[in-house]
Chains A and B, each alone.
Chain A
Amino acid sequence: MNAVSRLAVENGRLEKKAKAEVLLDVVDVTKDYETREGEEIRALDRASLSLADGEFVSVVGPSGCGKSTLLKIIAGIEHKTSGSIAYRGKPDRRPQSGMGVVFQTPVLLPWLTISENVLLPIRVLRLPRKAAAERTRDLLALVGLAGFEGKYPGELSGGMQQRVSIARSLVHDPDLLLMDEPFGALDALTRERMSLELQKIWMSNRKTVFFITHSIMESVFLSDRVLVMSERPGRIVEELVVPFARPRRFELAADPEFNKLVSRIRDLLGASIDV
């Protein structure tokens, strides 16, 4: 058990979560870069966290604090310098079915149709296509894009493209969904709507979600837990539990307890910026 979840149990806040099966256990993961001048830079400093099955966890932190690096290490895109990652109790083993990753930009392939884009993980993982075709239609309907199967990415708006990439991240039914500031490139209105949609999608499948954002409101609105990171070298400095029942609505923003959480996070981030 790592430091964060130990703390949670001690505080008695997360007893229920701690009993749920731990999906991902990240312990003391550190990442050092070497710059071209040969200078060592520590991007991530002994980051530890664990995700329970079906949990929605956000990470907020100042830009450049290493939160994207942490996500890329979990996704197997980047190597860690030290520390360990265990997946369902097995150290350094990545899930067979791959993970679902949503990037800040949609990363769709312009030569493939929308449904071919969604099917990309099926092709790469060599999963049966027939069942996947039906699933693709269902997922596109879930993200509000029924009827767009045969279109090309260039014919869709930025928000629609990002929804396609969410459908793509779910098509191979991964246990873990990693989202790296998925709404960062969208305008404020689209962004709010996407938060609501993501909540709907999450409620319909209860995937474990690891969600990176620099929007404090978004993190509190969507998550079961919010992890706050310090400036580089990134460390997880605090964990906050968000108690509100779902479905949550934007009226929550007027709730005093919601605002207490938001200002607590803001203080933490402000403090780390001042340092």
Chain B
Amino acid sequence: MYNPAKRRRKRLKNFATNALSLLASVVLVIVLWEALVNLYHLPSYVLPAPKAVLAALIDGLAQSPTSRAGFWYHLGDTLTATLAGFAIGGVLGLVLAAAMAEFRVVERILFPYVAAIQSLPKVAIAPLYIIWFGYQIESKIAMSVTLALFPVLLNTLQGFLSVDRDRIDLMSSLNASRLQTFWLIKLPTSLPMIFAGLNLGIVYALLGTLVAEFIGAQRGMGVMVLQLQSVNDTAGVFAILVLLAIVGYLLIAGVRMVQSRVVFWSGGTTRKPAA
């Protein structure tokens, strides 16, 4: 039977175990890394020592948000583009998938294009976006939308199309309208799949932003990586990679958190919604 206190204790214990083993492995990697650099006298532009990376990270973060040499200035732009791309791509993916699932005509018209664009390496569109939208944030958002859209669209469509026949039959037996069936059954039933799409979407939104920044932009973490690379500041590049890994992790964790609130009924155990 359901026992919240016991479950919470168990989860806490799991969390503590995971955190400890993670910490141990991180410490081990850093120690090995430091040893490797010292042992073979690797030049710092090939592999900087962990100390140097940490110094670069602290230095970058210590700068004022208005300074072009600091991380915050660039990170702000990257994050804005990522979140905007995720939001637009997510909503667009959801609406298109719903329209395709509900109306055969829409599906017939759109599906060939979806399939075609899906098989195209979408990164190749980036230079086109630079031509259309210029070197500002618009190009980054466009690329971010392009990459985030498809996982959301395809997963959501899959969700809508695999709604249990019995649930639809139940609604038909009650003379339910199509709109009622959509809101009361199809949308909630598809939520686990929608979130599977959103989990991928957030990662792709960040990827799209960085690609656009590599191709041509004036601000952003991607721009900064290129600048540091050009002056052989490898420690700085590493510092940005660490920062991006943390940002990516936090973005995914954010989506997961919303997911566990919204789709509380799905995934092995049945839990009550968090109050």
Contact = CB atoms under 8 A, between A and B. Distances in A.
Interface of A: 72, 75-77, 94, 98-99, 101, 103, 105, 107, 109-111, 120-121, 123-125, 152-155, 172, 178
Contact of B170 (A107, A111, A152, A154): A107
A4 B180 CA distance: 38
Contacts of B265: 110-111, 152, 154
Contacts of A120: 170, 174, 184
Contacts of A155: 2, 270
B188 A111 contact: yes
Contacts of B270: 110, 152-155
B191 to A, nearest CB: 8
Interface of B: 2, 164, 166-167, 169-176, 180, 184-185, 188, 191, 264-266, 269-270, 272
A124 B272 contact: no
Nearest to A75: B173
B188 A98 contact: no
A152 B272 contact: yes
Q: List 8 tightest A-B contacts by C-beta distance, closest first.
A: A154-B270, A110-B265, A101-B173, A98-B174, A124-B174, A75-B173, A107-B166, A77-B172
A99 B173 CA distance: 6
Given A154-B270, A155-B270, 12 more contacts: A107-B166, A107-B169, A109-B185, A109-B188, A110-B265, A110-B266, A111-B265, A124-B174, A124-B180, A125-B175, A153-B270, A154-B265
B167 A124 contact: no
Nearest to A71: B173
Nearest to A94: B175
A69 to B, nearest CB: 12
A107 B169 CA distance: 10
Contacts of B176: 124
B166 to A, nearest CB: 5
Contacts of B264: 111
Contacts of A152: 265, 270, 272
A76 B172 contact: yes
13 contacts: A101-B173, A103-B166, A107-B164, A109-B185, A109-B188, A111-B188, A111-B264, A120-B174, A124-B180, A152-B265, A153-B270, A154-B269, A155-B2
B169 A72 contact: yes
B37 to A, nearest CB: 53
A120 B173 CA distance: 12
A160 to B, nearest CB: 13
A187 B23 CA distance: 50
Contacts of B175: 76, 94, 98, 124-125
Contacts of B174: 98, 120-121, 124-125, 172
A103 B164 CA distance: 13
B96 to A, nearest CB: 24
A31 B180 CA distance: 28
Contacts of A111: 188, 191, 264-265
A101 B171 CA distance: 10
